[in-house]
Amino acid sequence: MTPVLQTLSLSKTYNEGPVDVHALRNINLEILPGEFTVIVGPSGSGKTTLLNMLGGLDTPSEGKVFVAGTDISNMSENELIDFRLHHIGFVFQAYNLIPVLTAEENVSFILDLQGRPAGEIKARAAEVLAEVGLADRAKNRPSELSGGQQQRVAVARALAARPQYVLADEPTANLDSATAFSLLDTMKRLNEDEKMTFLFSTHDPRVIDRASRVITLVDGEISSDERR
């Protein structure tokens, strides 16, 4: 099976004054389609840096990142932006919805930017909002939604364009237990029903418990990689 994501000898070094900080060292990783993977590790272990590399938000100092066989390591900034639009879904810790748009518009603008036809945009937005259980809140703005509902909109936005994988950075950090469980159940269902690949960076044991694969990072290196 062709991996959705693959890294080869991936390293990232930040130059902070006279000292070189090695955020990632020689990461070799393959993520297969439909995996529900979490990356764990203590603060400063390189989780966020790795997620940035895998999401095309940062470029490696050494090594390569392949998405479905395409090398994104040497793409220009504009090429990466366009690549992210079509191939990667993001869920952020702080939801990051646009407050002046309704839930439906927050979901559909990705499709709008892709240049999809209006009819398809409307239908797909309604479909993914229904999948996350917010069909009846489509016309509400983020300020009229709870934190959990806002994060569901963010998940719907990440799934709207049917990306090759979804990167989620601490998606449950700001949610209470009941809301977090509900959201994770939804994501797990989407993972199983639609074979959507999820990759989380988290400290949250509620997320780790549901993962099919747990990768542990320590000091920028993979210390364990466990499939369940």
Q: Which residues bind another protein (CB under 8 A)?
A: 48, 52, 55, 57-58, 70, 77-78, 81-87, 90, 92, 94, 96, 98-101, 109-110, 112-115, 157
Min dist. Cβ of residue 99 to another protein (A): 7
Given a contact cutoff of 8 angstroms between Cβ atoms, the answer to whether 4 and 31 are in contact is yes
Q: How far apart are CA 166 and CA 172, in angstroms?
A: 15
**Minimum distance between the CB of residue 159 and another protein, rounded to whole angstroms?**
13
Output 9 or 70, the one with its CB closest to another protein.
Answer: 70
Give whichever of 76 and 177 is closer to another protein, judged by the CB atom: 76
Shortest Å, Cβ 178 to another protein: 26
Residue 181 beta carbon to another protein: minimum distance, rounded to whole angstroms = 25
Closest CA to 32 of 4, 54, 52: 4
Q: How many CB atoms lie within 10 A of CB 154?
A: 26
Q: Which is nearer to another protein, 109 or 181 (CB)?
A: 109
Separation of alpha carbons 164 and 67, rounded Å: 8
Nearest residue (CB) to another protein, 78 versus 177: 78
Q: What's the closest the beta carbon of residue 228 comes to another protein, in angstroms?
A: 30
The DSSP output letter for 210 is H
Q: How far is the CB of 226 from another protein (least distance, A)?
A: 27
For another protein, give the closer residue by CB, 36 or 95: 95
At residue 121's C-alpha, the angle toward residues 120 and 124, to 5°, is 80
Q: Judged by CB, which is closer to another protein: 43, or 177?
A: 43
The residue among 167, 57, 160 whose CA lies nearest residue 113 is 160
**Positive or negative, the Cα torsion across 83, 87, 93, 95?**
positive
Question: How far lies 182's CA from each of 45, 109, 132, 176, 177, in Å?
Answer: 28, 25, 10, 10, 8
